[in-house]
Amino acid sequence: MNEVIAVGALTDIGMRRTTNQDAFLAERGVYVVCDGMGGETGGERASAIAVEEFARLAAAGERTRAAIDAAVQRAQRRARALGGELGGIAGTTISGIVLPQWDAGTDPHGAQPDAHMPGLVIDDWDATQPGAALDDSTLTGEWQAARGGWAAPCYVVNIGDSRTYHMERADSAVMAWDARTFTQLTHDHSSRQEAIDAGMGEAESGRRIARNVITRCIGAPHGTHADVFVAPAHGRFIMCSDGCHGELEDATIASIAAAHNDAAGAARALVQASLDAGGSDNVTVVVVDMPADRAALGARGEDDEDLGDVHGLDDATVQT
């Protein structure tokens, strides 16, 4: 039996912005969302820098904790220098997952690069433009791979207030996904979240603190570091900028995601719902569905753990 990873990704400028400072990467087992900030072009360029550095990580195939940290610090140096050039701060969030193994391959689709896990072949790739309501770029794809082609765990990476969520498959012939299992894996680096952590109620923090005041970003003048931890690579992962989770309650995100069996449909529906709810910011969603027969392996690991440490693997096992 073959294993399939399905990916749907979509970004939209929103209803009120004049530029799209969001960006995403969805290739070679690296799936991240970035939300830039910093003037007319600073945020757009900063998010592009983060995507470029994680694309280097994807192309190299090396998926250790050290390699992820190195990609973050390369992006940090470049974004900080950009801020100095522009006379301010050019920053970006980043949130998503990194699979630990991936064999480099060639891109048979030109503008949409791809690579192969062991035994991987492209199956039903599509790159299309969205409808009128979604006037920015879209990327959807589905990959088919032989069983056991990659290590079961993955890394979750986060800086800022973009988010990575997770949900399990449903034990049902009607619904493929179980909204009751919807979980936020990442922890926001924001003033609002810090107030909640200190004991302020969510409703009060929402009234008193703007949602977009973040406390950590790539490009920060005094440096940055990412939350990186291990999670089982099964079920559905949903990565989004605050243009999605700032417009929609978690329960709404969960119900919309669960109502769409395919990753591309879920991504499109979440972006459209964010626009319908006001579309006050750029909105980006990446949905990654792991193989249906990939068994659950338990809860997330501790922060800063390496797959080699947690699972008794050496670096030769978790990089290519």
What are 220-249's pLDDT values in tens digits? 999 999 999 999 999 999 999 999 999 999
Work out the average pLDDT over 153-180: 93
Question: C-alpha distances in angstroms, 84 versus 19, 21, 80, 219, 293?
Answer: 21, 18, 6, 10, 49
Q: Which residue has the higher pLDDT, 33 or 122?
A: 33
157 has pLDDT over 80: yes
Instruction: Give the model's confidence band at 193: pLDDT under 50 very low, under 70 low, under 90 confident, else very high.
Output: confident
74 falls within a domain: yes
DSSP 38: S
State whether residue 1 is helix, strand or coil.
coil
pLDDT at 122: 25
The two structure tokens encoding residue 196 = 């909640």
Residue type present at position 291: P
Question: What is the per-residue pLDDT across 36-74, written as a single tens digit (0 to 9) for each?
Answer: 998 778 999 999 999 999 999 999 866 899 999 999 999
Arithmetic mean of pLDDT, 127-146: 38
Residue 190: Cβ within 10 Å count: 22
Beta bridge partners, 155, equal 98, 230
Residue that is written with structure tokens 């005094």 in the block:
222
pLDDT at 294: 56
203 burial via Cβ count (<10 Å: 0-12, 13-18, 19+): exposed
Q: What local confidence, expressed as pLDDT, does residue 205 receive? A: 80
Classify residue 316: in a domain, yes or no. no
- Please report the pLDDT score of residue 103 as a whole number: 59
Model confidence at 97: pLDDT above 70: yes
Task: Say how far apart CA 183 and CA 167 lie, in whole Å.
Answer: 6
Indicate whether 207 belongs to any domain: yes
Residue 275 located in a structural domain: yes
* pLDDT of 201 higher than 50: yes
Q: Is 148 within a domain?
A: yes
C-alpha to C-alpha distance for 96 and 117, rounded to whole angstroms: 19
Contacts of 240 (CB under 8 A, 6+ apart): 33, 162, 163, 165, 253, 270, 283, 284, 285, 286
Structure tokens, 242: 């605050």
pLDDT tens readout for residues 14-42: 999 999 999 999 998 999 999 999 877 89
97: amino acid identity, one letter: I
Q: Predicted confidence band at 134 (pLDDT cuts at 50, 70, 90)?
A: very low
Range of the domain at 73: 3-295+303-309
What is the residue type of 189?
H
Q: What is the number of structural domains in the chain?
A: 1
Q: Which of 115-119, 175-179, 190-194 has the lowest mean pLDDT?
A: 115-119
Instruction: Give the CATH number, domain containing residue 158.
Output: 3.60.40.10
Min mean pLDDT across 73-82, 99-108, 217-226 is at 99-108
* Residue 318 lies inside a defined structural domain of this protein: no
How high does pLDDT run on average in the chain?
80
Residue 317 lies in a domain: no
Unique residue bearing structure tokens 């309650």: 249
Sheet arrangement for strand 121-122: 121-122, 138-145, 3-12, 283-289, 236-240, 163-169, 177-184
pLDDT in tens, 243-285: 999 999 999 999 999 999 999 999 999 999 999 999 999 999 9
Beta strand segments in 192-272, E:
227-232, 236-240
Q: Which helix (H) or strand (E) holds 27?
A: strand 22-27
Is residue 315 a part of any domain in this protein? no
The pLDDT score that the predictor gives to residue 31 is 98
pLDDT exceeds cutoff 60 at 108: no
